[in-house]
């Protein structure tokens, strides 16, 4: 277990980002923060709406207790600012003068209306990089269409591939499009950083959630574009041109994912699994003589597939997911449990690599473990080192210490509802 | 695309050597390649990228140059054939790295060090080299060599168990989703490393575990378990703070439209699109809380309307009224989608073996920053080019190595 407070310099430590995003883009600032960037989350006075997204600490519905907020706003400082007031806009411009990145996920054109869009900001600071996370891009026929996660997932093609044939397509349960959009916005921002280095000025980064989902919707576009075929959702099964085989299997206490992987990659594990099943008295028949290095689903018919799969169900049902996974690691079998949070927290590989990072939440009297580095770097740090900000926690630090606002001015701004 | 001959490319002068197959490494290199880096991928006839055997194949005819997955991922790359089992092959790889900026390693942990091409070896010949190794579970630890792939890693990372219907087994997320996430994290790590090198002159080594970066996507659910002891349940298409929220059957075979109604204002607009039928005025649908509570009944009533219309019509009418709605697009819809066309997200590029080949541009776009798209290369297409232009080999030297089997 790492202590988040001890950290070495991150790759992005000279830079600052102003984070105006809602739940569609919160992950972007988190990632930049993991790499050492000084990320300032700008919330509406009273706190962002995203603080109302559950789950909540000890199930107490409270804007300072959203675990969703904790997860995607760690490593950020936080100030309150209403950019719809003239005073708020003034302050935002001041902040933008010395910032490197502005990250936003408003409807396209909203910041331009407030005269805070890329073109205005770049007049104040030609080094500024503005990353815009949009549903469909900043131009084009669907520019002003709305998209929540399920709609972006639908229109990027991934939703149609998820779920079972006898029911409607089903959306992955973790707002995948928002998270992909956040990662891509961080990536685009860093590409823009290089552009700034070689061209001497910043630029605008456009992320379209629809495009992000398209990136993840694997072979849908290739099937139609390459052979005029429609890929369809097949749930727990993989459907090949001639046969289909199961990927998700029930076991004693949950589910595991397994299929005989063809070629050299899967050969050792397939052979070992058959031996294991055979030793436990499961009838494996011809599978014991199978030459796995030449195994290929596309050379089988469905009866043969059924024969290959027959021993799997009774075998899996007689073991827990932990037993199966342990055995799979030992034997190089390509099998994973369908892990829940408990399985992930207890995973030995993650523990051996010192993955988890504990952060103090003094106001809750708690210390909570967070996912750690998304990459291990030899020279620099990538870590979760600071818990998510409380509402307006760093107003003093930024407004008084950094911008030099007097107590009186701060009081006026507060009463005017600007901060 | 869209750039004149005098324009500067973002990654002009950056050379990348790719020791990686399938999804993650090549996909992360795309971000460099489409924006002007010289990306050289090493493959060989004795060890081609297995992605070349991944369907769909152009016109359903299998072949090494026909995979439309390969063509989609490996565009803009130079392809060099090099047999690393040959000692001279390793020397050539070293020479290439000594003139490069970035090395992407996507092979099984330990493979490159065993060949004398590990980070410690490469740092000797190019001190500021940036090297990123990406694999399933990281280069170290008890499971580092456990084989796996992106089609099922979503299970280990906690993404599959929360995807599906509450009354059924998890259906899981389709395709190698975690590969895509790892590719984006790899690409952004390389960007940060280039900036760090510009500032400090230092290169470095990265160990990126696909498992570790994907767990970040499950972070709120992990915190929920750690502090509340709760495991998240599968929700189907339900949302705890919006209704209607789901996927609704429309006119046509297997045609669907996704709808998401969050606020009361959106609810009123939604009802107006339906022509305010009587049931919309029932008190059980009057507030968000009440609509969420009665979402099962609500869903079937909504479907009585959607089923009479094609999904395109449902989407257009709802979006015009300010309600979030979208066609559940299949492969054909994606190619016909006017927005994706507008953004040039998908295209067909001329290809010598297949006539045309599918290409998909990286997701992000940068204002005024030029990019270009070139078709995926044939196996070994640029071997001679790289040997002569980059490695400055003489013709005699090239022929000798060739007959020595170094490029097999």
pLDDT per residue over A197-210, tens digit each?
999 999 999 999 99
> Residue B150: what pLDDT?
85
**In a domain? residue A330:** yes
Tell me how many degrees the CA angle B322-B323-B326 measures, rounded to the nearest 5.
120
Contact A24, A181 (CB under 8 A): yes
Question: Minimal Cα distance from A231: which residue of B?
Answer: B331
pLDDT of residue A240: 82
Residues A319 and A381 in one domain: no
Show residues of chain B in contact with A142, CB under 8 Å: 319, 338-339
- Exposed, middle or buried: residue B2 (CB in 10 Å: 0-12, 13-18, 19+)? exposed
> What's the confidence (pLDDT) of residue B337?
98
Record: contact B328-A194, CB cut-off 8 A? no
The shortest C-alpha distance from A351 to chain B (Å) reads 9
Asked if the model's pLDDT at residue A8 lies above 90, the reply is: no
In this prediction, residue A197 carries a pLDDT of 96
Q: What is the pLDDT of residue A262?
A: 87
Residue the block writes with tokens 């063809």: A262
Contact check, Cβ <8 Å, A261/B340: no
Between CA A15 and CA A101 the distance in angstroms is 8
Percent above pLDDT 90 for chain B: 96
Catalytic site includes residue B179? yes
Give tens-digit pLDDT for A10-25. 999 999 999 999 999 9
**Within this chain, do residues B192 and B127 fall inside the same structural domain, yes or no?**
yes
Q: Kindly identify which residue of chain B lies nearest to residue A263, measuring between CA atoms.
A: B50
Q: What is the pLDDT of residue B2?
A: 45
- The verdict on B24 and B71 lying in the same domain is yes
The per-residue pLDDT for B76 is 98
Could you give the CA distance from residue B222 to residue B313 in angstroms, rounded to a whole number? Answer: 40
Residues B135 and B53 in one domain: yes
Q: For the segment B107-146, what is each residue's pLDDT rounded down to a tens digit? A: 999 999 999 999 999 999 999 999 999 999 999 999 999 9
Instruction: Render pLDDT for A336-368 as a digit per residue (tens, 0 to 9).
Output: 999 999 999 999 999 999 999 999 999 999 999
> CA A281, CA B99: separation in Å to the nearest integer?
58
Residues 6+ apart with CB under 8 A from A348: B141, B142, B143
Test the B interface: residue of A50, A128, A155 with most B CBs within 10 Å: A155
Contact A11 B170 (CB under 8 A): no
Task: List the CATH number of the domain containing B26.
Answer: 3.40.50.10540
Q: What is the CATH number of the domain that holds B326?
A: 3.30.1540.10
Q: With a cut of 70, say whether residue B3 has pLDDT above it.
A: no
Q: Lowest-pLDDT range, A1-15, B228-242, B369-383?
A: A1-15
Contact list in A for residue B166 (CB cut-off 8 A) is: none
Chain B residues in contact with A121 (beta carbon < 8 A): none
CA B310/CA B251 separation, integer angstroms: 5
Q: How far apart are CA A402 and CA B303, in angstroms?
A: 55
pLDDT at residue A218, as a whole number: 83
| Predicted pLDDT at A42 | 98
Split at pLDDT 50, 70, 90, the class of B6 is low
Check pLDDT > 70 for residue A225.
yes
Q: Please tell me which residue in B49, B74, B105, B179 is annotated as part of the active site.
A: B179
What pLDDT score was predicted for residue B305? 97
A206 and A241 fall within a common domain = no
For residue A367, tell me if it sits in a domain: no
- DSSP three-state, residue A85: coil
SS3 A296: coil
User: Is residue A276 located within the same domain as residue A379?
Assistant: no
Q: How far is CA A148 from CA A176, B152, B221, B333, B345, in A?
A: 11, 26, 20, 19, 20
Is residue B292's pLDDT more than 50?
Answer: yes
Within 8 A of B174 by CB-CB distance, chain A residues are 158, 161-162, 217-218, 233-234
**What is the number of domains present in chain B?**
2
Question: The whole model's pTM is what?
Answer: 0.97
Same domain, A290 and A161: no
Task: Judge whether B246 and B257 are in contact, CB under 8 Å.
Answer: no
Q: In this predicted model, what pLDDT tens digit does every residue of B374-403 receive, in sequence order? A: 999 999 999 999 999 999 999 999 999 999
Nearest Cβ partner for A70 among B141, B223, B323: B223
The total of structural domains in chain A comes to: 2
pLDDT at residue B146, rounded to an integer = 94
B283 in the same domain as B145: no
**DSSP tag of B229:** -
For residue B1, the model assigns a pLDDT of: 44
> Is residue B358 located within the same domain as residue B325?
no
Instruction: Give the tokens for residue B340.
Output: 């994706």
* Main-chain dihedrals φ then ψ at residue B267, nearest 5 degrees: -60, -45
Termini Cα distance of chain A? 38
Residue of B180, B228, B322 lying closest to A146 (CB–CB): B322
Give the residue from A327, A346, A365 where a domain finishes: A346
Considering the domain architecture, whether residues B331 and B351 belong to the same structural domain is answered as no
From chain B, the residues in CB contact with A141 under 8 A are 338-339, 342
Would residue B227 count as lying in a domain? no
A313 pLDDT more than 80: yes
**What is the average pLDDT value for chain A, to the nearest integer?**
95
Q: Is residue B5 part of a domain?
A: no
Q: Span B340-357, mean pLDDT?
A: 97
State which residue of chain B sits closest to A67, comparing Cα positions. Answer: B220
Which pLDDT band, with edges at 50, 70 and 90, does B309 fall under? very high
Distance CA A153, CA B177 (A): 13
Q: Is the pLDDT at A4 greater than 80, yes or no?
A: no
Instruction: Say whether A376 and B208 touch across the interface (CB within 8 A).
Output: yes
pLDDT tens by residue, A123-155: 999 999 999 999 999 999 999 999 999 999 999
State the Cα–Cα distance between residues B272 and A144, nearest whole angstrom: 20
B204/B269 same-domain check: no
User: Residue A162: what pLDDT?
Assistant: 97
Q: Which of B282, B301, B336 is the last residue of a domain?
A: B336
- Asked if B358 lies within 8 A of A12 by C-beta distance, the reply is no
| Cross-sheet strand order for the sheet of A129-134 | A76-80, A38-43, A16-19, A101-104, A129-134, A204-208, B365-366
> Which of A54, A336, A344 lies at the smallest CB-CB distance from B218?
A344
Report the residue from A220, A352, A377 with minimal CB separation from B204: A377
Among the partner residues A151, A190, A344, nearest to B158 by beta-carbon distance: A344
Cβ pair A150:B225 closer than 8 A: no
User: Could you tell me the CATH number of the domain that includes residue A405?
Assistant: 3.40.50.10540
B69-118: pLDDT as tens digits: 999 999 999 999 999 999 999 999 999 999 999 999 999 999 999 999 99
- Pick the last residue of a domain from B336, B368, B384: B336
Q: Is residue A224 part of a domain?
A: no
- Six-digit token string for A147: 């998209």
Angle in degrees, CA A344, A257, B61, rounded to 5: 130
The confidence score (pLDDT) of residue A3 equals: 45
Q: Are residue A289 and residue A397 in the same domain, yes or no? A: no
A63-92: average pLDDT: 97
Name chain B contacts of A352, Cβ cutoff 8 Å: 140-142
Domain span at residue A112?
Answer: 2-217+373-415
Out of A168, A187, A197, the one facing B364 most closely (by C-beta) is A187
Return the pLDDT at A5.
41
CATH number of the domain encompassing residue A246:
3.30.1540
Model confidence pLDDT, tens digit, residues B178-201 = 999 999 999 999 999 999 999 999
For residue A211, which residues of chain B lie inside 8 Å, CB to CB? Answer: 340, 343, 345, 363-364
Domain co-membership, A110 together with A202: yes
Residues A208 and A241 in one domain: no
Q: Helical H runs in A200-299? A: 209-216, 220-227, 263-279
> Is A352 close to B142, i.e. CB distance below 8 A?
yes
- Nearest chain A Cα to B348, which residue? A225
Query: Could you read off the pLDDT of A85-120 as tens digits, one per residue?
Result: 999 999 999 999 999 999 999 999 999 999 999 999
Gap between the Cα atoms of A278 and A3, Å rounded: 46
The confidence score (pLDDT) of residue A199 equals 95
Residue of A nearest to B356 (CA): A226
pLDDT at residue A9, as a whole number = 86
Strand partners, B356: B350
Q: Which domain holds residue B363?
A: 15-216+347-403
pLDDT bucket at A7, cuts 50 / 70 / 90? low
Co-location of A8 and A47 in the same domain: yes
């Amino acid at each position: 277990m790492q202590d988040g407070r001890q950290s070495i310099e991150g790759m992005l430590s000279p830079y600052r980002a102003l984070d105006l995003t809602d739940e569609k883009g919160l992950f972007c600032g988190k990632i930049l923060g993991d790499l050492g960037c000084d990320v300032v989350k700008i919330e509406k006075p009273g706190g962002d709406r995203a603080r109302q997204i559950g789950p909540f600490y000890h199930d107490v519905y409270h804007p300072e207790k959203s675990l969703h907020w904790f997860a995607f706003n760690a490593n950020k400082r936080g100030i309150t600012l209403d950019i719809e007031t003239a005073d708020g806009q003034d302050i935002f411009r001041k902040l933008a003068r010395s910032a490197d990145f502005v990250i936003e996920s408003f409807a396209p054109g909203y910041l331009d209306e407030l005269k805070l869009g890329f073109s205005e900001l770049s007049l104040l600071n030609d080094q500024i990089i503005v990353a815009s996370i949009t549903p469909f891009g900043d131009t084009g026929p669907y520019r002003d269409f709305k998209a929540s996660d399920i709609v972006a997932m639908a229109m990027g093609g991934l939703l149609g591939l998820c779920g079972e044939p006898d029911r409607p397509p089903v959306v992955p349960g973790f707002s995948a499009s928002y998270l992909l959009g956040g990662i891509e916005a961080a990536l685009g921002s860093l590409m823009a950083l290089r552009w700034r280095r070689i061209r001497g000025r910043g630029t605008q980064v456009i992320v379209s959630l629809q495009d992000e989902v398209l990136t993840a919707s694997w072979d849908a576009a290739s099937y139609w574009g390459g052979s005029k075929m429609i890929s369809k959702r097949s749930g727990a099964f993989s459907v090949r041109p001639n046969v289909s085989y199961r990927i998700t299997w029930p076991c004693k206490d949950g589910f595991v994912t397994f299929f005989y992987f063809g070629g050299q990659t899967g050969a050792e594990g397939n052979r070992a699994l058959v031996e294991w099943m055979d030793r436990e008295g499961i009838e494996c028949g011809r599978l014991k003589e199978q030459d796995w290095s030449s195994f290929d689903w596309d050379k089988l018919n469905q009866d043969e597939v059924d024969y290959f799969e027959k021993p799997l169900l009774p075998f899996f049902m007689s073991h827990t997911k932990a037993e199966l996974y342990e055995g799979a690691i030992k034997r190089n079998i390509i099998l994973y449990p369908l892990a829940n949070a408990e399985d992930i927290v207890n995973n030995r590989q993650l523990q051996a690599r010192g993955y988890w990072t504990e952060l103090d939440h003094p106001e809750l009297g708690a210390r909570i473990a967070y996912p750690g580095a998304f990459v291990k770097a030899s020279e620099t740090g990538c870590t979760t080192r600071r818990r998510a900000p409380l509402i307006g926690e760093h107003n003093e630090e930024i407004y008084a210490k950094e911008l030099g606002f007097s107590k009186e001015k701060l009081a006026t701004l507060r009463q005017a509802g600007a901060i | 695309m869209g750039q004149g001959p005098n324009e500067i490319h973002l990654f002009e002068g950056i050379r990348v050597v790719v020791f990686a197959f399938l999804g993650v490494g090549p996909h992360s290199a795309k971000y460099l390649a489409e924006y002007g880096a010289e990306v050289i991928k090493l493959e060989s006839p004795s060890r081609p990228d297995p992605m070349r055997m991944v369907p769909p194949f152009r016109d359903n005819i299998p072949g090494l140059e026909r995979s439309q997955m390969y063509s989609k991922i490996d565009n803009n790359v130079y392809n060099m054939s090099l047999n690393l089992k040959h000692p001279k092959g390793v020397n050539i790889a070293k020479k290439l790295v000594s003139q490069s900026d970035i090395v992407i390693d996507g092979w099984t942990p330990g493979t490159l060090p065993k060949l004398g091409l590990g980070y410690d070896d490469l740092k000797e010949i190019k001190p500021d080299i940036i090297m990123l190794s990406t694999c399933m579970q990281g280069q170290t630890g008890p499971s580092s060599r456990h084989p796996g792939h992106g089609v099922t890693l979503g299970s280990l990372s906690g993404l599959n168990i929360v995807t599906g219907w509450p009354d059924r087994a998890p259906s899981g997320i389709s395709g190698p989703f975690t590969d895509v996430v790892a590719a984006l994290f790899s690409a952004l790590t390389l960007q940060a490393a280039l900036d760090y090198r510009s500032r400090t002159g230092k290169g470095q080594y990265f160990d990126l575990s696909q498992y570790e970066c994907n767990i970040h996507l499950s972070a709120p659910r992990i915190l929920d378990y750690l502090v509340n002891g709760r495991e998240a349940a599968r929700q189907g298409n339900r949302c705890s703070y919006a209704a209607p929220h789901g996927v609704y059957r429309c006119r046509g075979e297997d045609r669907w439209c996704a709808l998401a109604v969050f606020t009361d204002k959106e609810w009123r607009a939604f009802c107006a699109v339906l022509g305010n039928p009587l049931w919309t005025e029932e008190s059980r649908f009057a507030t968000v809380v009440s609509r969420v509570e009665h979402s099962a009944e609500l869903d079937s009533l909504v479907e009585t309307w959607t089923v009479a219309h094609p999904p395109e019509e449902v989407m257009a009418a709802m979006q015009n009224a300010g309600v979030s709605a979208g066609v559940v697009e299949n492969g054909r819809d994606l190619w016909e989608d006017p927005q994706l066309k507008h953004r040039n997200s998908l295209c067909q590029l001329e290809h010598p073996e297949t006539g045309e080949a599918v290409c998909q541009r990286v997701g992000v776009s940068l204002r005024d920053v030029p990019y270009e798209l070139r078709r995926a290369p044939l196996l070994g297409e640029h071997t001679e080019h790289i040997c002569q232009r980059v490695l400055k080999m003489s013709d005699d030297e090239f022929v000798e190595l060739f007959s020595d089997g170094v490029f097999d």
